[in-house]
Amino acid sequence: MNILPNLMYTKTDEWFDPATGAMGLSDYAQGQLSDIVFVEVVVSVGDALAPGKAMASVESVKAAAESYSPVSGKVVAVNEDLAGNPEVLNTDPYGQGWMIKVEGADASELMDAAAYTKYCAERAH
């Protein structure tokens, strides 16, 4: 399981990069879902987000799941490449697998990498 120290995380397994405003599905989440076969980002540039608002639908060979915005903010970019290349969420969830980018976000309510690592370990038992 790969948890990057510069990102912030939610209990629903999304990540947020305070430096770039990018967000997506954590490595832990993609590992639980297994092989991802479909991604649909359900927000558009200009949309206002609130924490917990659905930002994408993800389907794998095992399950379907919603991915929720970890922060509030205004959507400034959507990763259009995910629809044609959903498996990138399995291979590069923190790089090419970003879902959206926002501006004006506050990450103060999110877990840092150490807290998220502990949270994931607790769920594994």
Residues 56 and 54: their CA atoms lie apart, in Å, by 6
Number of domains the chain contains:
1
Q: Is pTM beyond 0.85 here?
A: yes
Residues 38 and 66: their CA atoms lie apart, in Å, by 12
CATH of the domain at 23: 2.40.50.100
pLDDT for residue 69: 95
pLDDT of 56-80, one tens digit each? 999 999 889 999 999 999 999 999 9
Domain of 21? Answer: 8-111
pLDDT for residue 124: 75
Residue 100 lies in a domain: yes
Region of 10 on the Ramachandran plot (φ > 0 left; ψ -120 to 50 alpha; else beta): beta
pLDDT for residue 22: 97
pLDDT for residue 62: 86
Residue 69 lies in a domain: yes
Residue 81 lies in a domain: yes
Alpha-helical segments (H) within 1-125: 27-33, 88-91, 113-123
Residue 125 lies in a domain: no
pLDDT < 70 positions in the chain: 125
Residue 73 lies in a domain: yes
